[in-house]
Amino acid sequence: MAKTSLTPFEQKRKSLLADMTPACRTVAKEFEEKIKIGNQGVILIRYDIGAKVCRVVEKEAQYGSNAVKQLAAYLGFKDDGSALYSLKNFATAFTRSFVKGQVSKPLLNGRAMELGHFLQIMKVKSKKQQHVLFDKVRAECLTCNELEKEIQANYQTKNKRTSGRKPQKPKSPGAGLQKLFSQAKQLANYADITDESIFNPLLKIAATDVNDQLVERFVDAKKEVSRAQGELAGVLREAFASGLPTVVQVSYAAEELLPFKPRSLLMAKELGLEVTDTRTASRIFRQLLNER
């Protein structure tokens, strides 16, 4: 009988065990089993909660029309019940025995299947493809984020993707500018690797391997990038051309600096702030510095 070749993940784990003392190997196996049992328990508890939410929704006359939101608020969930509804969908998408079987088999790197894996895979329309994805997660040790991107790129989902959640408003102009800077920097850094990671590999894909999902993702990405580029360019051009705040030139030479409090009052007056005492001026500038 031919030996099955080990994957890189399995080879690494085998090597790590081989380097341990017998006592350490025993502890490693003991921990592995405890983590597996604990993770299985957590996911099955969430499954049972989801199944119970199903009954709560079905029996509205008994539990009330607002029961899910009330339960979420009581349990301290910072949402309107969406987390409980997600567990309800989880319990509806799979049987309990199937979930238990999937959780009992670890990924090849030793990590356990997480609830997030189930929540992503249940979005896939085809049951056959769902089973393929469970095997893929285990074989390639995909994280929940990696799995989400894999599904978005290559699989047909039950619901049409939306344009995404509306971002939170910044708490201050300074915080907003910092967020804008970080997002722009992140996008620029990502653009540096697009040729190597996206476009060059795309050119090498055989025509027979190009599916509808891949074409849809390409068209969507192109449209969204063009839309974002146009909107941002217009907004920023207008804002930076006419809305720049007044900049006060302050000398940093020690011999030219006034004592801090009088200087704060002077700068406040230069900015046109309605400030008449140094205490208020100092407080305003401390707030401005904290926003940076």
> How high is the pLDDT of residue 130?
95
Question: Which one-letter DSSP state was computed for residue 250?
Answer: -
DSSP bridge partners of 124: 157
> How high is the pLDDT of residue 291?
52
> How high is the pLDDT of residue 248?
45
Chain-centre distance of CA 23, in angstroms? 39
∠ CA 190-192-198 to the nearest 5 degrees?
A: 75
Neighbours of 124 (CB within 10 A): 20
Neighbours of 117 (CB within 10 A): 23
Distance from C-alpha of 119 to C-alpha of 210, rounded to nearest angstrom: 26
∠ CA 114-116-121 to the nearest 5 degrees?
A: 105
> How high is the pLDDT of residue 292?
47
Residues lower than pLDDT 70 in the chain? 1-4, 6, 159-167, 211-214, 216-217, 230-231, 233-292
> How high is the pLDDT of residue 275?
58
> How high is the pLDDT of residue 56?
94
> How high is the pLDDT of residue 183?
77
CB 90 within 8 A of CB 119: yes
> How high is the pLDDT of residue 78?
78
> How high is the pLDDT of residue 185?
76
Q: Using alpha carbons, select from 143, 130, 122, 136 the residue that is nearest to residue 47.
A: 122
Q: Can you tell me whether residue 155 is helix, strand or coil?
A: coil
What is the identity of the amino acid at 68?
A: V
What does the buried/exposed string (b/e) look like for 212-246 if buried means 16 or more CB atoms within 10 Å of the residue's CB?
A: eeeeeeeeeeeeeeeeeeeeeeeeeeeeeeeeeee
Q: Using alpha carbons, select from 96, 116, 112, 143 the residue that is nearest to residue 34.
A: 112
